[in-house]
Structure 1
Amino acid sequence: TIVDEITLMCGEYKAAIQQIKAAEGIETMNGHLYRIWYYTPTAAGDWIAHAQYGLILDAPEFQELLRMLKKKCWFDF
């Protein structure tokens, strides 16, 4: 069950962050899992979707992805 999602579009980049409860067979300590979908453009004008999961938002690799998206998209959350 997706309980919250923020979709971001900015120029050549778009992304969505989702907060998921007990979804897709993944259990977490606090019952929440965060997933960021981010999309990169192709030369043909299509989008390639990528997903990254983070059990906690301060996980280093998750923060790195957030930094990249913030730098490209100028958003904050």
Structure 2
Amino acid sequence: MDSDRVLVMDRGRVVELGHPHELLQQHNGYLYRFVEKTGAGSAKHLRYVAEQSYYKRVISKRQPADQPNLEPEGRLSVFRGTTL
């Protein structure tokens, strides 16, 4: 969840794109439901990490969430799961 943006796909099409913290505010969204399925403790931790990342990158640097972070620490995480 420490990412600039996440891309959520369902059946081969993009259904969500944005900063994880912003997507997790949409309680009817795909990412929110996916995170909730990890269990209460894990979901709480993932929301916390996403929020900290948001404030670190977006608020403190005044970098819009829709602009990628080009710092060398960038990485890609891929999660595969069942249909939400």
So what's the TM-score if we normalise by structure 1? 0.27
Please identify which structure carries the higher strand content: 1
So what's the TM-score if we normalise by structure 2? 0.26
